[in-house]
Amino acid sequence: MPTIVQKFGGTSVADAERIHRAARRAILAKSAGNDVVLVVSAMGHTTDHLVDLARQVARKPSKREMDMLLATGEQVSIALVAMAIQEAGHSAISLTGAQAGMLTDSSHTLARIKSIDTSRLRGYLAEGKIAIVAGFQGVDPSFNITTLGRGGSDTTAVALAAALKAETCEIYTDVDGIYTTDPRLVPQARKLDRISYDEMLEMASLGAGVMHGRSIELGMKYGVPIHVRSSFTDMPGTMIMNATPDMESISVRGATLKRDITRITLLGVPNRPGIVAGIFEEVARRGIFVDDIFQNAAAATEATLGFTVTHDDLDEVRAAAADLAKKFAITQQQVEPGLARVSVIGVGMRSHRGVAATMFQALARASVNVENITTSEIVISVLVRDSEAERALQVVHAAFGLGG
C-alpha cells in the first residue's frame, strides 16, 4: 500500500474546526487506499505562549528545559488530531517524537536527526491506523527530549517520508504553493506547478519563506517529492522534485528579494596571508553573520575587501568595522546600510545564455543602480538601494515573463 505523509503547520491546526479539516484530509487519503502518517505542529500561537512563560521564569532558560517545554505544544496537537479522526469513526493513534523513533543528536533546540526507528509506526499502519506524529521533536540517545529548530516539523515530515519510502510528503500551509516571487510585492506573481529542489533551496536561502532549507535538502537527498499546498482549498499546490529536462527549458523559475542588508567595505587591506581569515574570524566571534564576500584586485600590496551582513544592530556592525580597521591596519572602512538583494533563480540558467544581460538591461531601463553583482550556477543576484528594491524586483520579474 502506498504511503503518504501529510504535514499540518500551526495555522492548519489552530482551532477545533481546522483540526477537523486536517482530520478529513487524512481520512480522504486513507480511504483512497493509502497508509497515512500525519505530522503536526503546535497549534497557532502555542509556541509563543510557552516561550513567554519561560521568559517569565528565567532570563536565559537552559536549552534542554526549553526543549522539554516546547515539545508539549506538538503533543497537544497530536492528541487532538487523533481524537478528531476517531470522532469521525476512523482508527488513529498519536505518537510523540520519541514514540515515533525519531532519534537525534543532543544539540538541544537545534538537534539533527540521526536515525528513525519506524518499526512501531509501521506496526500501527499495518493495523490500518492513521498515525499522527509530533513534528519538531525527537529524543537523544539518553532519552532526553530534543527539538529540531526552525522549520522542524517540515524536517520531521520529510525525514519520515524518506524513512517510510512514501509516495509524497504533502506540506499543508496557509499559502497555496510556491510563487515565482512574493505576491505581496509583485501582484503578477504566479503559482508554480513544479520547482526543483536546487531552485527551492536557493529561493529559501534568498528570502522565500515557505519552507526551511533543511527539509528541502533532506527531500533532495532521499528523492522525496514534496507537495506544498493550502490547507484551506483542494487545489493542487507546488511540487518540489528533481529537475526534469522540460523544467530546464525555462531559464528563470523565480525571483526573490532580501532586505535589510548592510555592506562593509574595507579599503587598503594589507595583502598578506592570513589577514582575510583573521578579519572573518573576528566578525564571526562577534556573532555577526556574513552573507556575501567580494574582493577586488588592487595594488600588489593592498586589496579592497567587501562583505554584506544582515545584522539587527547597526551600531554593533559599525563598531566591528572600526575595530577591524584598527586591528588589521586598514586604511579606511565604509559601512552602508539600507541595501537589498534581488535574485533570479533557475536550473535552466545552466544551458541558457543571456540571463544576466536580460536582468541588467531591465534594471538599467528602470534606472535602478546596481551596487554589486554575485552569481552562482543557478542564481544571479544584484545589490540595490532598498528604496529601489521593490521596483527592481518587479521589472526583473516582468523581464523574464514570470507573471501570470
Q: Which residue's entry shows cell 499540518?
A: 8
CB count in 10 Å sphere of residue 238: 23
Among 84, 159, 218, 395, binds its own copies (CB under 8 A): 84
Sign of CA dihedral 99, 105, 106, 107: negative
Amino acid present at 37 = V
Q: Is 82 in the site for its own copies (CB under 8 A)?
A: yes
Are 388 and 371 in contact, with CB atoms under 8 Å apart?
Answer: no
- Pattern 27-66, binding to its own copies, x per CB under 8 A? -----------------------x--xx-xxxx-xx-xxx
Distance of alpha carbon 74 from alpha carbon 248, whole angstroms: 39
How many residues bind to its own copies according to rule CB under 8 A? 38
Q: Is 380 in the site for its own copies (CB under 8 A)?
A: no
Pull the grid cell for residue 38.
500525519
- Pattern 118-157, binding to its own copies, x per CB under 8 A? -------------------------xxx------------
Q: Is 79 in the site for its own copies (CB under 8 A)?
A: yes
| Residue 49 Cβ vs its own copies, minimum distance, rounded to whole Å | 10
Among 4, 14, 19, 243, binds its own copies (CB under 8 A): 19
Quick one: 147 or 358, whose CB is closer to its own copies? Answer: 147
Pull the grid cell for residue 144.
532526553
Are 38 and 13 in contact, with CB atoms under 8 Å apart?
Answer: no
β-bridge mates for residue 171, sequence order: 7, 228
Give the range of 14-22, 254-262, 288-296, 302-310 binding its own copies by CB under 8 A. Answer: 14-22
Beta strands in 271-331 (DSSP E): 290-296, 302-309
Distance of alpha carbon 315 from alpha carbon 198, whole angstroms: 36
| Residue 41 Cβ vs its own copies, minimum distance, rounded to whole Å | 14
| Residue 26 Cβ vs its own copies, minimum distance, rounded to whole Å | 14
Site for its own copies in 282-301 (CB under 8 A): none
From 377, 372, 380, 376, select the one nearest 356 (Cα to Cα): 380
| Residue 11 Cβ vs its own copies, minimum distance, rounded to whole Å | 17
Strand order in the sheet with 372-376: 290-296, 302-309, 254-270, 332-345, 379-385, 372-376
Site for its own copies in 298-327 (CB under 8 A): none
Q: Is 403 in the site for its own copies (CB under 8 A)?
A: no
Among 80, 157, 160, 269, binds its own copies (CB under 8 A): 80
Q: From residue 301, give the alpha-carbon distance in Å to each of 273, 281, 295, 304, 325.
A: 11, 22, 14, 11, 16
Applying CB under 8 A, the residues found at the interface with its own copies are 15-16, 19-20, 50, 53-54, 56-59, 61-62, 64-66, 68-69, 71-72, 75-76, 78-80, 82-84, 86-87, 93-94, 96, 98-99, 143-145
